[in-house]
Chains A and B, each alone.
Chain A
Amino acid sequence: METETTQVAGVCVDAGGYALGMPQLCADWMPNQIFWLVITLIAIFFVLSRIALPRIGAVLAERSGTITNDIAAAEDFKNKAAAAEAAYEQALADARTEAQAIIAKAKAEIQAELDVELAKADAAIAAKTAESEAAIAEIRDNSVKNITAVAKDTAKELVLAMGGSADAKTITAAVNARMKG
């Protein structure tokens, strides 16, 4: 039985079916390995080059394309956001400027009104003052006149009471001289 196997297996195995020397170096077996290796390599090559590698290459290219597109889109959105922010800032600045202008205008208006009112009030005050001054002057004039009259009368009476006599003209001149002094 074993002998039969040995007979058909060739010179590289012994009667027990064990290897004689290194099976790697058995020349009888080499053509078989080389033949099937070449067949296998050709098959692998065709599987890879016809089906697998183009498919994987396409998937990788598609993915990198998608990623590039997505990054570009993200960049776009970022720019848009920046633009929106700039517009917002601009609007805010405009609003501030406008507010400042409105405040300045309001202030100016108020100031103008105030000035008018002040002028009016000043005029009224001035008028009142002038009136009062006139009244005071009149009162003073009156009182001076009265005092003069009273002084003349008193002086005349005094002169009469002292037993002198004096005409009105002299007394008036004397009183006036005194009043000036």
Chain B
Amino acid sequence: MAIEEQSGTGLVFHPLDQFIVKPAFGDGVVNWYTITNVTVWMGITLLCIFALFVLGSRGRAIIPSRTQSVVEMLYGFIYKMIEDISGKDATRYFPYVMTLFLFILFANYLALIPMSYSPTSMIAVTATLGFGAFIAITILGFVKNGMSFLSLFWVSAAPLALRPVIALIEIISYFVRPVSLSIRLVGNIAAGHVVLKVFAGFAAVTLASPAAVLGIVAIYGLEVLVAGIQAYVFTILICVYLKDALHPHH
């Protein structure tokens, strides 16, 4: 797994090589339309979601099968999250939020399969997710509330003198949202995979290998948690931003 180079200077790890984008079939230039390893793993993500959600629920049973219970649990989990955080009227955006959540969740977990590729460790991917959601939610806020959406930044509960200052802080924090969304996700996933790779590199050294293998196990366990938690955090923050867009008045 670890690509290492035994040269005169000793061990050299290349923990970042796992993130290299290369064509899935044959060699060549990576154009925007090229089918790459990223494409393949996004496709697998899609297939897994299809398998679980479409094939798993095809029984339409009143008393659900095991797979259908899992599907219903995920459905209920996100539906309730939107309902509780964003409000009843936000449930019409449920499919969008569900799409984001499932993509991140499945991509994160599939990336934990050895030799796999993790799309969510690429900043281009997470930034597209983060900024896409941010722009969509901001447009939604203006469409739903018109110019009164700007009252989100004008905190009427604060003393009048402080309001401009608070507005400035609120605006900065508003525009930091997509950045924090994408950096948080990419940072967690990429860092975890780099650490795994570094441990894997040490596993090739006889003396260090027991500790390295234990380290891989421990970090892997941590990454299993991180994969789920990051998908959850991303989704819950989207719900919070959605609430701000639908109900900007404090």
Q: Name A's B-contacting residues (CB within 8 A).
A: 4-5, 8-10, 12-13, 16-19, 21-26, 28-41, 43-45, 47-49, 51-53, 55-60, 62-63, 66
Question: What 0/1 pattern do residues 101 to 128 of B give for CB contact below 8 A with A?
Answer: 0110000000000000001011111001
- Chain A residues contacting B186 (CB-CB under 8 Å) are 24
Q: List 7 A-B contacts (CB under 8 A).
A: A4-B27, A8-B28, A19-B16, A36-B42, A38-B128, A47-B54, A57-B75
Size of the B side of the interface (Cβ < 8 Å), in residues, is 56
Which of B21, B45, B76 counts the most A-chain CB atoms under 10 A from its CB? Answer: B21
Of all chain B residues, the one with the shortest Cβ separation from A60 is B72
Q: Name B's A-contacting residues (CB within 8 A).
A: 3, 5, 14, 16-17, 19-22, 27-34, 36, 38-39, 42-43, 45-46, 49-50, 53-54, 57, 60-62, 64, 68, 71-72, 75-76, 94-96, 98-100, 102-103, 119, 121-125, 128-129, 186, 190
Of all chain A residues, the one with the shortest Cβ separation from B40 is A36
Top 3 A-B pairs, shortest CB-CB distance: A52-B53, A31-B32, A23-B19
Contact A37 B42 (CB under 8 A): yes
- Chain B residues contacting A36 (CB-CB under 8 Å) are 36, 38-39, 42
* Distance from A100 Cβ to chain B, minimum over Cβ atoms (Å): 55
Contact B119 A37 (CB under 8 A): yes
The total of Cβ contacts below 8 Å across the A-B interface reads 146
Q: Is the interface of A mostly helix, strand, loop or mixed?
A: helix
Which of B17, B42, B99, B123 counts the most A-chain CB atoms under 10 A from its CB? Answer: B99
* Distance from B225 Cβ to chain A, minimum over Cβ atoms (Å): 22
- Chain A residues contacting B103 (CB-CB under 8 Å) are 40-41, 44
Contact B61 A59 (CB under 8 A): yes
- Chain A residues contacting B190 (CB-CB under 8 Å) are 24
Of all chain B residues, the one with the shortest Cβ separation from A33 is B124
